[in-house]
């Protein structure tokens, strides 16, 4: 063993002078170019930056050189660098200088067999159907990395995914993202750790601006996204920080933790912090980055939300969302429908304007898109506090489990929910369908018989300092509950009229409410409580 160790140390000793010599030579070249030591200018490797030449080979050559040095920064000065797939390597930083544009070069959406982006990989056929198709391939992206450590993309430049498919109908064609040569993601990372993304912007990021699958110890900081589908998809990841980001995603989700089966086993997304972010689906594509902030038409029902789900095989635990602003979005969603545990979630200091349906949607369902025999999951221990929602649409906020699988241990504290109102008596009398095995969306139940909060199949709820208001008179009760065990309501404010419509509710207490008598009962009850 000692002999082998001495041989290894001798080999390392021989290699160190070679690496040091290479770095010294590079340092001399950088000094002549005015760059810091350890920075490699892509133009020195053949990149033109003219927006026409395909600079991908030169960029990948620079990345390989940086890796050979043991790690370095690949520098993009101002210019437009058209490229197909850029293959990241460990210990390499891509630095996009202000004025630098990394352009996803176009290819025909019906395929480019002789060139274009790397061929799409695919997960094993035995579990391919357990997640949406976009979560099953990574390589056909503008920037791709797998099995890497300590990688960074940074700078004040722009990633422009103009040539990427979004796998929906696009100008009359179906953007087939698995066809040879077609790319569909701005950044795709798989099984990596030590990832830092900061300060750059992404315009039109394709199917996903970022798909991170099995990525641990990742920070996304001060990134601006103005995109035509998802913003950040954080799938099967651990120890993730999303900070100070702006995401405009009118046609899909903004910041989206998921826990799919794409790695071949259910891996939880856990220890996630989303803080100081702005999400919206209400502005025209490109107008946020351009600073014009051009609003979509009033008839446009954009997305732009923060959502855990819908892929939910592995679970979501230890997640916080704090100090975030939602503008003309679909609010905040926690969805577990494929057997995952969604537990220990804290949402605080949130403000919303113009929510296009439910301000918040907590859904435990049994779609069960996963291995046969997987039990229904759980949704429990969720605290939502200091949330203000103004001018929300007709749908109330929703907390919904399925029969025999309740949502549990939910606290709502210091919350103001202002809805547009206008609900009819017919809506108030409606019994919404269960839809237990359906795709989870706030619209899945149709019109709902509550103006502020709809709760079904739940246990152990506590509300404190909650106010529900409507802009137009509404015949529906403020809060509708069915099959709920354990409700504690303190200091609720609601419009005059029916405050609660209760059906199969037990262990209920409402007290300290202005202008209303205290109400307490233990046994199952069906009643309306008017204020």
Measured distance CA(517)–CA(379) in Å, rounded: 32
Tens-digit pLDDT profile for residues 354-388: 999 999 999 999 999 999 999 999 999 999 999 99
Q: What is the DSSP string of 97-151?
A: -TTEEEEE----TT--TTSSSPPP----GGGGGGS-GGGG--SSEEEEEES-EEE
Q: What is the pLDDT of residue 33?
A: 59
- Name the burial class of residue 503, with classes exposed (0-12), middle (13-18) and buried (19+) by CB atoms within 10 angstroms of its CB: middle
Q: What is the pLDDT of residue 168?
A: 52
Which of 390, 258, 243, 399 is CA-nearest to residue 329?
390
Q: What is the pLDDT of residue 179?
A: 81
Query: 373: which residues sit within 8 A by CB, 6+ positions away?
Result: none
Q: What is the pLDDT of residue 514?
A: 82
CB burial string 343-372: b at 16+ within 10 A, e below: bbbbbbbbebbbbbbbbbbbbbbbbbbbee
Measured distance CA(467)–CA(17) in Å, rounded: 69
Q: What is the pLDDT of residue 20?
A: 46
Which of 361, 382, 362, 367 is CA-nearest to residue 337?
367
Q: What is the pLDDT of residue 385?
A: 98
Tens-digit pLDDT profile for residues 108-126: 877 776 789 999 988 888 8
Distance of CA 207 to the CA centre of its chain: 13
For the chain, residues with pLDDT lower than 50 are 1-25, 27-28, 31-32, 169-175
**Residues of the chain with pLDDT > 90: what percent?**
85
């Amino acid at each position: 063993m000692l002999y082998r160790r001495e041989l290894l140390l001798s080999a390392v000793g021989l290699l160190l002078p070679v690496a040091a010599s290479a770095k010294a030579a590079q340092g001399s070249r950088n000094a002549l170019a005015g760059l810091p030591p350890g920075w490699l200018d892509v133009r020195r490797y053949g990149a033109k930056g003219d927006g026409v030449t395909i600079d991908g080979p030169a960029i990948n050559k620079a990345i390989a050189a940086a890796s050979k040095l043991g790690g370095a920064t690949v520098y993009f000065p101002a210019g437009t660098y058209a490229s197909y797939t850029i293959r990241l390597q460990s210990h390499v930083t891509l630095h996009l200088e202000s004025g630098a544009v990394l352009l996803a070069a176009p290819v025909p959406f019906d395929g480019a067999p002789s060139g274009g982006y790397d061929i799409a990989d695919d997960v094993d056929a035995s579990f391919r159907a357990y997640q949406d198709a976009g979560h099953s391939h990574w390589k056909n992206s503008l920037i791709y990395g797998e099995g890497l450590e300590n990688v960074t993309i940074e700078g004040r430049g722009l990633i422009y995914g103009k040539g990427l498919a979004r796998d929906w109908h696009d100008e009359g064609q179906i953007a087939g993202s698995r066809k040879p040569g077609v790319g569909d993601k701005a950044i795709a990372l798989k099984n990596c750790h030590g990832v830092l993304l900061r300060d750059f912007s992404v315009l039109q990021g394709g199917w996903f601006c970022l798909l991170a699958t099995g990525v641990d110890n990742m920070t996304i900081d001060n990134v601006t996204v103005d995109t035509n589908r998802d913003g950040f998809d954080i799938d099967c990841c651990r120890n993730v920080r999303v900070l100070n980001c702006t995401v405009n995603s009118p046609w899909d989700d903004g910041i989206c933790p998921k826990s799919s089966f794409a790695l071949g086993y259910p891996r939880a997304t856990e220890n996630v912090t989303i803080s100081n972010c702005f999400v919206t689906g209400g502005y025209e594509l490109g107008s946020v980055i351009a600073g014009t902030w051009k609003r979509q038409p009033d008839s446009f029902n954009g997305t732009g939300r923060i959502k855990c789900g819908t892929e939910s095989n592995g679970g979501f635990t230890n997640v916080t969302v704090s100090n975030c602003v939602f503008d003309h979005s679909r609010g905040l969603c926690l969805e577990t429908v494929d057997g995952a545990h969604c537990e220990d979630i804290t949402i605080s200091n949130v403000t919303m304007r113009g929510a296009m349906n439910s301000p918040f949607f907590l859904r435990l369902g049994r779609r069960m898109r996963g291995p046969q025999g997987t039990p229904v999951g759980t949704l429990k221990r969720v605290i939502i506090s200091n949330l203000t929602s103004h001018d929300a649409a007709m749908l109330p906020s929703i907390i919904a489990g399925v029969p025999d699988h309740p949502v549990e241990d939910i606290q709502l504290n210091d919350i103001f929910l202002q809805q547009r109102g206008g609900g009819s008596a017919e809506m108030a009398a409606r019994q919404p369908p269960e839809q237990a095995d359906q795709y989870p969306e706030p619209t899945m139940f149709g019109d709902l018989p509550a103006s502020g909060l709809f709760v079904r199949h739940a246990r152990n709820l506590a509300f404190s300092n909650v106010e529900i208001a409507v802009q137009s008179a509404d015949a529906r009760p403020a809060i509708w509950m069915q099959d709920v065990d354990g409700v504690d309501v303190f200091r609720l404010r609601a419009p005059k009229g029916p405050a609660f419509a209760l059906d199969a509710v037990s262990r209920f207490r409402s007290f300290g409410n202005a202008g209303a008598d205290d109400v307490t009962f233990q046994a199952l009850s069906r009643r309306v409580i008017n204020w």
